[in-house]
Amino acid sequence: MLAAISIISGPSSQALAGRVARALGSRLADVDFFRFPDGEQYLRVPDVGAHSVIIQSTPTDSDYISLLQLIDACDRAEKIDVVIPYFGYARQDRRFLDGEAVSSRALAGAITADRVFTINIHNRNVLSHFDAEATDLDAAPVVGERIAAMGLTHPMIVAPDEGAIDLVRSASEHLGVDFDHLEKTRLSGEDVLIKRKKMDVSGRDVVLMDDMISTGGTITEAAQVLRENGANRVFSACIHPVLARNAALRLFASGIEDIVATDTLDRSVGVVSVANLIADGIRRDR
Ligand code: R5P
């Protein structure tokens, strides 16, 4: 008989964990957290289920600590699935300069579980650094469906660089929506250069889509190129709304009409839930 699933939510993924529990018809376990006066974190899962499904994104270092604590607190479970909807540090996926830490490898290597699930991780090669069987789930089709339902005029989905072309292809497949990509050079953590390019966007509504929006620099620069090409309305979409510092303000101030994003991170932008995608992944080969 299959063990009953308990959903164990970390502090950064509470809304999503609630939706996954509902999708699976499973119990949501209680989790107690607090911070000691010196800043250290405390965490307790009083009632650990036989099949524990931990859900915790790791946008900050303390979220990563919480994830390790959750895994340790659940060590009595017969089976542990760890869902990391947004896996921070995934962009440091190789050594760009001599002597750099390959941070994604260091962090993935410390996760112990039976199965690990991520969602549109920045680079799928990072999955090989997990000890457990690791699966990356693709949320692009769910975002694509939302875009298709927005009633846009002759829409097009555009990636800001070639690295995001598979993502926009996946979002536009089955929808009969055109897609294309721009070319980006990163100048610094906040600034990028998008190459001027002729694009068939005149009079069309365009959705700029990337795996994540962090400072918003990429999307605001790309929007400028689209406008130069005569685009009508410009929207942005992403899987992970990191939205660091004043990114949302920067996007809306630049004339982006809306930000469509998933709930891998809890942010106050148009939400498309990945709960069913995760629930399907958990059910698979239990
Ligand atoms: C980078 O490779 C990613 O795919 C995103 O393009 C990038 O993280 C977006 O960052 P920002 O919003 O700061 O330009």
What's the CA angle centered on 77, arms 74 and 276, to 5 degrees?
A: 85
In a domain, 105, yes or no: yes
Same domain, 172 and 246: yes
Same domain, 201 and 249: yes
Pairing of strands 184-186, 192-194: antiparallel
Distance CA 276, CA 285 (A): 16
Name the band, by pLDDT with cuts 50, 70 and 90, for residue 90: very high
In a domain, 268, yes or no: no
In a domain, 269, yes or no: no
Within 6 Å (CB) of ligand 1, which residues are found? 91, 163, 192, 210-218
In a domain, 50, yes or no: yes
- pLDDT digits 0-9 by tens, 54-78: 999 999 999 999 999 999 999 999 9
Distance CA 197, CA 214 (A): 24
The pLDDT of residue 1 is above 70: no
In a domain, 185, yes or no: yes
CATH of the domain at 44: 3.40.50.2020
- Please tell me the total count of domains within the chain: 2
Instruction: Using the structure block, give the residue that is written with the tokens 């112990």.
Output: 112
259 Cα–ligand 1 center, Å:
15
- Non-local (6+) Cβ contacts of 105 within 8 A are 126, 129
Residue 271 CA: distances (Å) to CA of 93, 165, 215 = 28, 22, 19
Best probe residue, ligand 1, of 119, 192, 212 (max atoms within 8 Å of C-beta): 212
208 Cα–ligand 1 center, Å:
12
Residue 173 CA: distances (Å) to CA of 153, 166, 167, 170 = 18, 10, 10, 5
Same domain, 200 and 225: yes
Which residues are catalytically annotated? 184
Ligand 1 atom closest to residue 190's alpha carbon, by position in its atom list: 13
- pLDDT digits 0-9 by tens, 135-145: 999 999 999 99
pLDDT of residue 190: 81
- pLDDT digits 0-9 by tens, 149-182: 999 999 999 999 999 999 999 999 878 899 999 9
Same domain, 52 and 22: yes
218 Cα–ligand 1 center, Å:
6
pTM of the predicted protein model: 0.95
